[in-house]
Structures are given as C-alpha cells and as structure tokens.
C-alpha cells in the first residue's frame, strides 16, 4: 500500500465521507444491543400466576406485589372518562444492584376506550407542570428480599407456596382495584368505584345480595371473597403468561451465499445515472424508513409483544418517525426528581393476542414506551407512577 497516494485519496474523501458517514452508520449492522423480548403463552395453571410466584403476565387480574397499599383514588381511573382503568400487563423486573429492588414489578393499566387514548396522545406532549391527564398509567412497586409479605426463600414451585399474609379485598366486579367501598345492603361485596357497583348490581348481585344476607343471618361465612376469579375473568382481557427470551437467540444463522446467477433482462454492466430520482420515488421518506427498519427488527421473532432493555445505550424501537418524544418531552421522576430512562415497550402484536375487535373505534396503538426512574427510587408511596409514551398510527394517510 502506497502511503502517499493513500493519504491524498483519504484527504479528498474526508469531505465526501462526512455526510455519508451518518448514512453508513445506519446501514451497517447495529451494534449488538442487548434486548430481552417477551412472548405470550397460555399458563400451565392459573395458580402459577398468583402473586407469590412473582409472575410476568398479561390480562386477567393483576398480581399485586404489595397486597395492602394498592393505588387508589385518582391513580386508578382514566383521567378522561373517569372509568377505572383495565389491567394490561405486568412484568417482574428486579434490579440486582440495590437491596431495596430485590423484588420489582411494573404494572401497566390502560383505559380500553380509543377516544381516551387519542386524547392521551395529545396530553402526553404537555409539560409536567400543567398536570396532564393520562389514560395509560404505569406503576412500579419494589420490595427488599426480607419483607413482611413473602418468604425470603425462592418459591418451591411444588404447589404448596403461599404468601405470608392475605391481601386486601379486591373489587367484586373487576378484581383489579382495591375494594374500599362495600355494597350497602349486604355489606359484604367490596367495590372499587360506584360504576362497578352499579354494574355488578345489574348483572346478578341484586339476586345474590338477598341470599348473602340470608346466609349471614344463619352463619357467618366469608365465601364471598373466593368468588371473583371466574366471574370477572370474562370481562377482563384473556390471561397469558409472559415468557422471556433474549433477542440475540433469534439471529439468523449465517447468510445465504451470494449468487449472481439470476437472469436479468438487461446486462449487468450497464449502469445508470438517474437512480437518486428513483430512490426518492420508491424508498423514502422518514416514516417509511423507520417502518422498514421496524419490520426488519421484529421479523426475527414476529410474535414478540414486549421489548425490554435497561441498557442506557439502547433506544426504543419506533415504528414511525412522527410522534417521537424528544429529550424535553420526557419529564423528571415525580418522586426523586432524577432522570428517567427507557425501560420497556409494548408492541402492537399484543392487540392480536388480546383479541380486541377491529372496528373503527377499537383499541389500536403503534407502540407504548415506558420510561422509569433511573435510580428506581424509594418513597412512601408503594406504587409509584412512571411515564408512558404512546405512538399511534396516523389516522389520515401520511403521504
């Protein structure tokens, strides 16, 4: 290699390369990003999804980590339609560095109404000071290894595991939120809100209430507490267990051999000059490019529903380029005022598994990205709210 000519060539190329370098970085294979991916599977037994097994699951009722101090009041309802939020999924994401985060669960709730989601999309751009209203809420709960609720030894998985104490009563209609209010006639059925009490009354409690009062007079039985699971299941989203895999386990094995033996109409050595024009027509705008790279990335494992990475170098995988937050849009942690970092994102494949209908007003999202406190701070509030960002598909076709 002749050093002089190389220097001259490289000197000239420096200017060319600067603008192309960015392009080149994008085109090169991404550096190995360590991302964990979640899949859905039918649980072998619903018992495995109870809270003392520390499950990661979707649908059904949440397995509250701290069974007593559940979120109440404003945090449990949609800020737009005032309906209690529905449980979407929870993941078990402990952090090994700190003692206080030995057990760590993240819960995602959202209002199933698309109208609220559209309004949420608008409000999420607002600054924290304006106290924006949200219809998607994420809660983080963490416990140290030695706590009052669970044994400090790992669950033995032999069917005999039990939590140390019984949790608070949950609403008889949704089985999700704390049942603070009680039915005024039988004084036994707990409810989380007036709306759920009214619905439960209409759909059967009216008849049962009298029976319960009758039972109470004869003998005191707390049978009511055991009922919720089968009756509420039909109203909530179908329950699945989330299985965790590493994304790199799906990398394609080797590349197919390069064969230039394909027949083409025009001989190969003829080159053209007007391809930039063609490129513009066929390939490009930003939205299409991000969609193409999104598709490529998920094609490794098409049935993924969740992507997780606490690595600071990893960016969320956005399907579109519009509607992404910039650094200004991501606020500071509500409790410790520290910065937030991307933790996980929920993919649209989940909608397919949940079996949501596909009408014009049914739930649909591009991606929901969750940012959590980098330090995973402690505070008196047991279930701390974290920041979510929803990216929806544009309703009007974007040219």
Partner 1 sequence: MAERGGGDRGGFGRGFGRGRGDRGRGDRGRGRRGGRRDEEEKWVPVTKLGRLVKEGKITSLEQIYLHSLPVKEHQIVDTLLGGRLKDEVMKIMPVQKQTRAGQRTRFKAFVVVGDSDGHVGLGVKCAKEVATAIRGAIILAKLSVVPVRRGFWGNKIGKPHTVPCKVTGKCGSVTVRLVPAPRGAGIVAARVPKKVLQFAGIEDVYTSSRGSTKTLGNFVKATFDCLMKTYGFLTPDLWLDTRFSKSPFQEYTDLLAKPTKASLIESTERVEA
* Residues 135-164 interacting with partner 1 (rule: CB under 8 A): 145, 153-155
- Please name the residue that has the structure tokens 């709306």: 195
Distance CA 150, CA 143 (A): 10
Q: Which of 95, 164, 198, 216 binds partner 1 (CB under 8 A)?
A: 95
- Whichever of 259 and 326 has its CB closer to partner 1, that residue is 259
Query: Judged by CB under 8 A, does residue 223 bind partner 1?
Result: no
Question: Among 50, 236, 301, 314, which residue interacts with partner 1 (rule: CB under 8 A)?
Answer: 301
Given a contact cutoff of 8 angstroms between Cβ atoms, the answer to whether 240 and 40 are in contact is yes
Q: Does 101 bind partner 1 (CB under 8 A)?
A: yes
Binding residues among 263-292 for partner 1 as defined by CB under 8 A: 263-266, 268, 270-275, 277-279, 281-283, 291
Applying CB under 8 A, among 75, 77, 86, 104 the residue interacting with partner 1 is: 104
Token pair for residue 135? Answer: 């219809």
235 near partner 1, rule: CB under 8 A: no
CB distance 126 to 166 below 8 Å: no
Tokens of 305: 């529903």
Q: Which of 256, 312, 313, 380 binds partner 1 (CB under 8 A)?
A: 256
Instruction: Give the total of residues touching partner 1 (CB under 8 A).
Output: 91
Site for partner 1 in 320-339 (CB under 8 A): none
Nearer to partner 1, 30 or 251 (CB): 251
Binding to partner 1 by CB under 8 A, coded x per residue (else -) over 351-370, reads: xxx---xxxxxx-x------
Residues between 32 and 51 that touch partner 1 (CB under 8 A): 32, 34, 36, 38-39
349 scored as a contact of partner 1 (CB under 8 A):
yes
Minimum CB–partner distance for residue 217 and partner 1 (Å)? 43
Binding mask 166-185 for partner 1 (x = CB under 8 A): --------------------
**Judged by CB, which is closer to partner 1: 337, or 362?**
362
249 binds partner 1 (CB under 8 A): yes
At closest approach, how far in Å is the CB of 115 from partner 1? 13
Report the residue from 70, 84, 87, 103 that binds partner 1 according to the rule CB under 8 A: 103
Sequence-ordered list of residues with C-beta below 8 angstroms from that of 75, at least 6 positions apart, any chain: 137, 139, 383, 385
Among the listed ranges 118-126, 182-190, 213-221, 344-352, the one in contact with partner 1 (CB under 8 A) is 344-352
Indicate whether 16 belongs to the interface with partner 1 (CB under 8 A): yes
Closest CB to partner 1 among 222 and 255? 255
């Amino acid at each position: 290699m002749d050093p002089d000519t190389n220097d001259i060539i490289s000197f000239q190329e420096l200017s060319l390369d600067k603008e192309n370098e960015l392009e080149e970085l994008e085109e090169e294979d991404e550096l190995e990003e360590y991302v964990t991916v979640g899949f859905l599977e039918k649980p072998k037994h619903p018992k495995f999804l109870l809270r003392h097994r520390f499950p990661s699951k979707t649908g059904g009722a949440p397995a509250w980590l701290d069974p007593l101090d559940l979120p109440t009041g404003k945090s449990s309802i949609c800020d737009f339609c005032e309906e209690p939020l529905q449980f979407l999924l929870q993941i078990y994401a402990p952090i090994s560095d700190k003692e206080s985060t030995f057990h760590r669960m993240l819960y995602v709730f959202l209002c199933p109404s698309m109208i609220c989601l559209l309004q949420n999309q608008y409000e999420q751009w607002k600054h924290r000071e304006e106290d924006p209203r949200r219809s998607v809420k994420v809660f983080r709960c963490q416990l140290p290894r030695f706590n009052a609720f669970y044994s400090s030894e790992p669950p033995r998985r032999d069917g005999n595991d039990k939590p140390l104490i019984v949790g608070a009563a949950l609403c008889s209609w949704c089985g999700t939120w704390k049942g603070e209010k009680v039915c005024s006639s039988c004084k036994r059925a707990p409810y989380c809100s007036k709306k759920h009490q009214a619905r439960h009354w209409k759909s059967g409690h009216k008849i049962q209430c009298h029976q319960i009062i009758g039972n109470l007079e004869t003998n005191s039985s707390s049978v009511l507490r055991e009922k919720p699971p089968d009756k509420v299941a039909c109203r909530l989203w179908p329950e699945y267990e989330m299985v965790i895999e590493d994304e790199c386990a799906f990398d394609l094995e080797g590349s197919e051999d390069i064969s230039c033996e394909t027949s083409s109409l025009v001989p190969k050595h003829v080159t053209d000059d007007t391809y930039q024009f063609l490129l513009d027509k066929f390939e490009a705008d930003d939205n299409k490019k991000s969609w193409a790279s999104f598709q490529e990335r998920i094609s490794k494992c098409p049935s993924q529903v969740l992507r997780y990475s606490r690595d600071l170098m990893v960016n969320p995988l956005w399907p579109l380029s519009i509607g992404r937050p910039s650094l200004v849009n991501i606020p500071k942690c509500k409790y410790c005022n520290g910065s937030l970092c991307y933790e996980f994102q929920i993919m649209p494949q989940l909608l397919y598994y949940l079996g949501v209908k596909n009408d014009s007003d049914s739930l649909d999202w591009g991606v929901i990205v969750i940012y959590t406190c980098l330090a995973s701070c402690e505070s008196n509030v047991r279930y701390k709210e974290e920041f979510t960002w929803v990216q929806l598909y544009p309703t009007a076709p974007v040219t």
